[in-house]
Amino acid sequence: NPVGAKYFALYPAPNNGSFYTSSYPQSQNSTTADGRVDHRFSDRNTVFGRWTYNNVSTVTPSALPNVGGVDPGGSVSFPGPASQQAQQLALDYTHIFNPALVMELKAGYTYVSNVSLPLNYGKNFGTAFGIQNSNIDIFTSALPAVAVTGYSPLGDSSSLPLFDRDNIFQYGGTLTQVKGHHSIKYGMMLVRRQIYNEQPTSGAGSFSFTTNPASTTVAAVTPLVNLLEGNVFQVSRVVQLFPRYLRSWEPSFFVQDDWRATPNLTLNLGLRYDILTPDVEKGNHISHFDPVSGTFRVAGLNASNTADIKTYYKSIAPRFGMAFNPFARTVFRGGYGVVFFRDNTGPSVPFADPPYVGTYSPNVNTTT
């Protein structure tokens, strides 16, 4: 099989007895910068601003040597170039009304970019190897993955390329009031998330070869024989047909009382309330499967712009803490809390459904 022969040629000759061994050092560069400015307007008014920058670039090479410009990949996790960049800007203003009443206002912006590319990104080696319709756009432009039982895998890693860029805006304020043995803090926060995500699971396609199906010409079947003859055991492909531009809001409120109940006992009593709104997508490119109706709920077609996912209004989170020092130099501390948080602040896997994700995975080829 001409395609199988091209993949077979990516395997190097043994260099250590009957095996091939190699080292593939990973290179990484990191740049970090921080800056902060504090200004005191008066005894009652202060402000500060902080900026943080972090940029990391990583290159993970192929475990197998390059063959005619093709990086075979091999047994290494996510080989290829990757870059992660994060920036954050924070502003804080504090006003003292009196020694027993203090207000603090905060605002922040966070930008995170996570990009990871396959080794053969943009080279369309799937088409060059003879796999029809493998490379249909830049996101599927790699060499399709091939798994051969008992041998090093070939081709580019699944779940690459990855493009994930997040913009997070945060606004909040607290009011701290001291009354006798109580220090009470009231607060609220608003978080606005904007997420861009593009990540096909196996955009260029993936193939596997085992001892099954049996070869038509060789009695003692091995996975390499099936590779050379093109006897594929399983083939699959998952393509994200549209990028996702997700948007959501997260308002929250809290109150906490630090109560010095006795000279030896301090209690921390708090209650927090979070509202996590469902994601909406700029082009309504989200959907999910509804097991009750047996249909896909598609935003903007047969469902709301959240694909009929409802806002959860029961995120009431109590907090309790204590500090008890019965003897000098001895303190017992304990605490309990309930936390609600969003689980898909990065790649939005829950929306990997038709009609905006294409999946091809026919039944496994078996023999009896």
Tell me the pLDDT band of 230, cut-offs 50, 70 and 90: very high
pLDDT at residue 260 in the model: 95
For range 341-345, the mean pLDDT: 68
The DSSP 8-state label assigned to residue 346 in this structure reads S
Question: Would you place residue 347 in the very low, low, confident or very high pLDDT band (cuts 50, 70, 90)?
Answer: very low
Q: d(Cα 81, Cα 108) in Å, to the nearest integer?
A: 30
pLDDT in tens, 135-182: 999 999 999 999 999 999 999 998 899 999 999 999 999 999 999 999
The angle formed by the CA atoms of residues 229, 234 and 238, to the nearest 5 degrees, is 125
Q: Express each pLDDT in 113-138 by its tens digit.
A: 999 999 999 999 999 999 999 999 99
Rounded Cα gap, residues 79 and 61, in angstroms = 6
The token pair at 192 is: 């606005």
C-alpha gyration radius of the chain:
28
Sign of CA dihedral 253, 348, 164, 285: negative
- What CA–CA distance (Å, rounded) separates 161 from 86? 19
- The residue written with tokens 């708090």 in the block is 270
Contact 77, 134 (CB under 8 A): no
Averaged pLDDT, 342-358:
71
Percent of the chain at pLDDT above 90? 76
Q: What is the mean pLDDT of residues 190-195?
A: 95
The DSSP symbol for 16 reads B
Averaged confidence pLDDT in the chain? 92
Beta bridge pairs of residue 29: 57
In tens, the pLDDT along 42-93 reads 999 999 999 999 999 999 999 999 999 999 999 888 999 999 999 999 999 9
